[in-house]
Amino acid sequence: MRGAVLALTAGLTANAALAVPGLEPGVSRELAQWRAKYYRDVRYTLTISVTAGATKLTGTGTVEVTLPPAVPDLVLDWRPSPGAARMAQLRVNGKPAKAKLEREHLIVPARLLRAGKNRIALSFESPIALSGSAVTRYLDREDGSEYVYTLFVPSDASSAFPCFDQPDLKARFRLELVLPRAWTAVGNAPIAATEDLPSGQRRFRFAETRPISTYLFAFAAGPFAEVPVPRDDDAHDRARVDVELLDDRRLRVARQPRDDRWLGARSSRRRRDGRRELRQRRLFIEQSRLREHEVALGARNEPRFGGAFFWDNHRRERERRSGRAREVQPARASLVGSARRVPAASRN
């Protein structure tokens, strides 16, 4: 009987530990710590489509996460803008499923999950705006060009797609962008492949990133000008490149010959400037200490001492710290013979 009671108590304790902390808008400390304890090896695969002039982006996403043997609920962050964002076609481990949206969180119940790797697939829409949105559109007034870019700092990734929007749950991202054919794109990783689509669009497939936080995930798209930088195979990072604007659309890139003497002179100048700055800092500290001593020992109606005493005492202190002096008397002992009383008339 006692063993059954202990087993029941242990089961209740385990269930209490697996229970999702009280949810509130945003990511509370309790929720962040709870997810960091149970979720591992997070990966995102995103396919996002952006068209010129669109007020929304559409996409599909896959979230992969590894869960412990005692499977907890899965809590994703999702902050849809009213009327401008939505999530649909949820599938958990290949099966259609329903999730509960509660206080800016998407909850997948534990009964739909399993120990080990889990795969959650969904489709989503999120807004693109000129301001006030995690995905922003910029319009060039000069030529009418349009550019789209993301800014997820500090916690706006969850307003673009469902995710674990906390910095310590780092993940690897795979991104595909479907854009107008005249556009190009940049992201957190190099472009691995491009493909022209029959619809007049172009697909950009990026390489997988290293583990990064969701607020660091980013992309930008538009009719950017590409500037190839000439480079040597042996020491391209030591090259100097001059870029000249020829007109609105063309750039001329000229590589300057590498000059090791110029690089060496620049390095020497930096070292020299660094030593000069260090000396100035040390002198400032010494002068500040001297002024503090003068204020402490030169109070009104007290004997004042000449500057020679302070410099001599300061020299002794420096020698003591550097180990060059064999024996140094206390600071007050050096007052004898080196102090001179200032007449009362000069003190007023």
Tell me the pLDDT tens digit for each residue of 194-226: 999 999 999 999 999 999 999 999 999 999 887
Please tell me the predicted confidence (pLDDT) of residue 305.
Answer: 43
pLDDT at residue 348 is higher than 50: no
Specify the pTM: 0.65
Q: Which CATH number fits domain 22-222: 3.30.70.2660, 2.60.40.1730, 3.40.50.620, 3.40.640.10?
A: 2.60.40.1730
Please tell me the predicted confidence (pLDDT) of residue 131.
Answer: 85
pLDDT at residue 227 is higher than 60: yes
What whole-number distance in Å separates Cα of residue 236 and Cα of residue 245? Answer: 23
Q: What is the pLDDT of residues 97-151, one digit of tens each?
A: 998 999 999 999 999 999 999 999 999 999 999 988 899 999 988 888 999 999 9
Q: How confident is the model at residue 327 (pLDDT cuts 50, 70, 90)?
A: very low
Please tell me the predicted confidence (pLDDT) of residue 270.
Answer: 60
Phi, psi of 224 (to 5 degrees): -70, 150
Please tell me the predicted confidence (pLDDT) of residue 341.
Answer: 45
Find out whether 206 and 187 touch, Cβ atoms under 8 Å. Answer: yes
Give the SS3 label for residue 226. Answer: coil
Query: What one-character-per-residue DSSP string does 29-86 give?
Result: HHHHHHHHHH-EEEEEEEEEE--TT-SEEEEEEEEEEEE-SS---EEEE--PPTTT-E
Query: What one-character-per-residue DSSP string does 263-307 give?
Result: HHHHHHHHHHHHHHHHHHHHHHHHHHHHHHHHHHHS-TTS----H
Find out whether 332 and 305 touch, Cβ atoms under 8 Å. Answer: no
Q: How far apart are the first and last CA of the chain?
A: 94
Tokens 């922003």 sit on residue: 136
Please tell me the predicted confidence (pLDDT) of residue 171.
Answer: 97
Q: What share of the chain is helix, strand, coil (3-state, %, to 5)?
A: 30, 30, 40
Mean pLDDT of the chain: 77
* Better pLDDT: 42 or 9: 42
* Better pLDDT: 279 or 31: 31
Tokens 């660094």 sit on residue: 274
Which helix (H) or strand (E) segment is 262 a member of? helix 260-297
* Burial tier of 51 (Cβ tally within 10 Å: 0-12, 13-18, 19+): middle
Please tell me the predicted confidence (pLDDT) of residue 143.
Answer: 86
Phi, psi of 183 (to 5 degrees): -95, 160
pLDDT at residue 162 is higher than 50: yes
